[in-house]
Amino acid sequence: MTDQKTSSDMVELNGEDVYPDWENLLQSHGAAQTEKKQSDLDISLEMLVDCKGLTYWQDIFNQMNFPGMDLMEVTRDTQYLNQPLAEHKLLLKKIPGFLQLLSEENVNDLRMAGIAESNIFAMGRGIMPINWTVHLKYPLDYGGKIDFDNMILIQIEPFHEEIHSFLNKQMLSKAGVARPKELYIPVPSGRVYIPMNTVFSGGGGKAAIQIHGNENGGR
């Protein structure tokens, strides 16, 4: 006779019996789906950006107010992980030290830029002068880092706002914000931005093109 299995002989398997790390598997799958959706969104937005070449953006650059800056081409870092809160906290942590460094090693540059002695003294204590900000020369998603080598003290009005106005022309579309594969960036030199002349003129720098990032990740 063939033995018949009764209900008491049958064992119900739960997820942990089949795959002990079931929870992590589900989390990984969910993260992968989220990453894929974000990637698809980036691609869709990128397709809506009117991708113009160097000649077009060089002409716009020359019409705007960038005395002494160079126009640089950078390539989007496809391995960049967007962590805005962590990046903002790190930048705020770095800025006082950068201001102190300028007050010790770049005093003449600060004076040439028109910053008063009292403000230079305050910078030694991490206090930002009015209408000045610390600008990252190269964006983080295009190979830039949050370190002193990528920082410059620059006037908010008109120069910092002008830089971001130029970038917005390339990154903003009717569909929202996109990250084009190539981005053209006005880049000031040094640690303190000192305009080349007091009569502000368009462009003024070199149209030197430098691939600063790469698609395989960073500089």
Which of 214, 152, 149 has the alpha carbon at shortest distance from 183? Answer: 214
Which of 132, 105, 124, 119 has the alpha carbon at shortest distance from 193? Answer: 132
pLDDT (average), residues 133-145: 97
End-to-end alpha carbon distance in the chain: 75
- Sign, CA torsion 34/143/72/194: positive
Q: What is the pLDDT of residue 172?
A: 81
Contacts of 152 (CB under 8 A, 6+ apart): 134, 135, 137, 188, 190, 191, 192, 193
Q: What is the largest CA-CA distance in the chain?
A: 106
Q: What percent of the chain has pLDDT over 70?
A: 64
The helix (run of H) or strand (run of E) holding residue 111 is: helix 107-112
CB 31 within 8 A of CB 21: no
pLDDT in tens, 48-85: 445 678 899 999 999 999 999 999 999 999 999 989 99
- pLDDT higher at 84 or 44: 84
- pLDDT higher at 27 or 68: 68
